[in-house]
Amino acid sequence: MKIKEIKIGKVSIPLKKPFKTALRQVNSAEDIIVKVIADTGEVGFGNAPPTAVITGDSQDSIIAAIRDTIGPKLIGMEIDNLEAIMTTLDTSMLHNSSAKAALDIAVYDLFGKLYGLPLYKLFGGYRNLMETDLTISLNQPEEMVRDSLEAVAEGYKALKIKVGGDTALDIKRVQAIRAAVGSNVKIRLDANQGWGPKEAVRTIRKFEDQGLDIELIEQPVKAHDFAGLKYVTDHVETDIMADEAAFGTYEVFQLLSMSACDLINIKLMKAGGLHNAIKIAHFAETMGIECMMGCMLESKVGITAAASIAAGKKIVTRADLDAAVLLAADPVVGGVSFCQDQLIIPDSPGLGIVDIIGWQEVK
């Protein structure tokens, strides 16, 4: 099976509610879709959400990277030589991790189809069900309490609460949510780089002193500030998870070597696809560091790919793969399905995706 053609398209999917973090606010998911078409007629699906504030990638940069630079190098390559394809992806240009991820996901989808294997089995086959949390956007405490109670009523047992920017208000937000949801719901926080290192330590110690029972805190400080992240990790009891700092394989290797965090959030769009995400999971496992599979605001294509690693690998103990349920519509036919907070990974070959409704091809 050889790569014959690569098609690129766009989907725009409105969100049920505005998504707000310390880094950005958006009302829709603007996803780039790729279809990698084999000489057998089989299609592999991939996606790349432009999350410029985290990856530096825009819609235009993703399209140009796939269409003009990386894509042409893949034409004619054999799907069963994954190693050669992934080397070409990694060496074709620097950065552009989302464009690389889209192509990597589509190639793995074809590889799974070629061998009749669901991707979660290829990645280890540890389980075929995984709990996801639900993200609560950064708003005034009363609105966040309402959103949290709604999530708990829908069956979510873990909430990922966005904080950052105003620590006094962050403390009020977390106090109000914990009081409302009770002690049986897991609360994880994501500051999206919204605190300084000393500010983070002071704030986290307040959460600890008040017994707010925070499971973990994602990316308290700026992505580039590895020393600041280590400072926070070393000075609080609560587990600290690297997200934006844990960008790709090199950054994760460095963070693990420095013991700068307790946990890693792996995302395909940072790592440059499944092949690098697997390396990250293996580095982390070697160092005894548990991982979460995370996501950007993206369609179910990327969520299914990320869920396949989450389900496949034992070291991935948590999933923040809620993007597809934050969307008001689901254009993706097939792939992962949701039952309350459970992700159900399909047993069909590859990603199990059949079609994407309403995608607009771009030339």
Ligand X SMILES: C[C@H](N)C(=O)N[C@H](CCC(=O)O)C(=O)O
Build a one-symbol-per-residue string for 19-48: x at contacts with ligand X by CB under 6 A, - elsewhere. --x--x------------------------
DSSP element (H, E) containing 29: strand 25-38
Question: Which is closer to ligand X, CB of 43 or CB of 319?
Answer: 319
Strands (E), the chain: 3-20, 25-38, 43-48, 129-131, 134-136, 158-162, 186-190, 214-218, 239-242, 263-266, 291-293, 316-319, 332-334, 337-339, 342-344, 353-356, 360-362
267 part of the active site: yes
CA angle centred on 294, ends 190 and 97, rounded to 5°:
110
Question: Which is closer to ligand X, CB of 109 or CB of 133?
Answer: 133
363 part of the active site: no
Instruction: Determine, following the binding rule CB under 5 A, whether residue 322 of this chain makes contact with Mg ion.
Output: no
Map residue 44 onto helix, strand or coil: strand
CA angle centred on 312, ends 355 and 297, rounded to 5°:
50
Q: Which of 7, 113, 162, 313 is catalytic?
A: 162
Tokens of 47: 């996606």
Q: Which of 267, 270, 300, 313 is catalytic?
A: 267
Tokens of 351: 């990603």
* Single-letter residue type at 57: D
Instruction: Determine, following the binding rule CB under 6 A, whether residue 251 of this chain makes contact with ligand X.
Output: no
Select from 33-41, 116-124, 295-303, 335-343 the region that touches ligand X (CB under 6 A): 295-303
Instruction: Determine, following the binding rule CB under 6 A, whether residue 341 of this chain makes contact with ligand X.
Output: no
Let me know if 273 is exposed, middle or buried by CB neighbors in 10 A (0-12, 13-18, 19+).
Answer: buried
Query: Is 190 annotated to bind ligand?
Result: yes
Question: Which is closer to ligand X, CB of 89 or CB of 269?
Answer: 269
Build a one-symbol-per-residue string for 205-234: x at contacts with Mg ion by CB under 5 A, - elsewhere. -------------x----------------
Residues that constitute the known binding site for substrate = 24, 135, 160, 295, 297, 320, 322
Residues that constitute the known binding site for Mg(2+) = 190, 218, 243
Enumerate the active-site residues.
162, 267
Residues that bind ligand X in the complex, under the rule CB under 6 A: 21, 24, 51, 135, 160, 190, 192, 243, 294-297, 320, 322-323
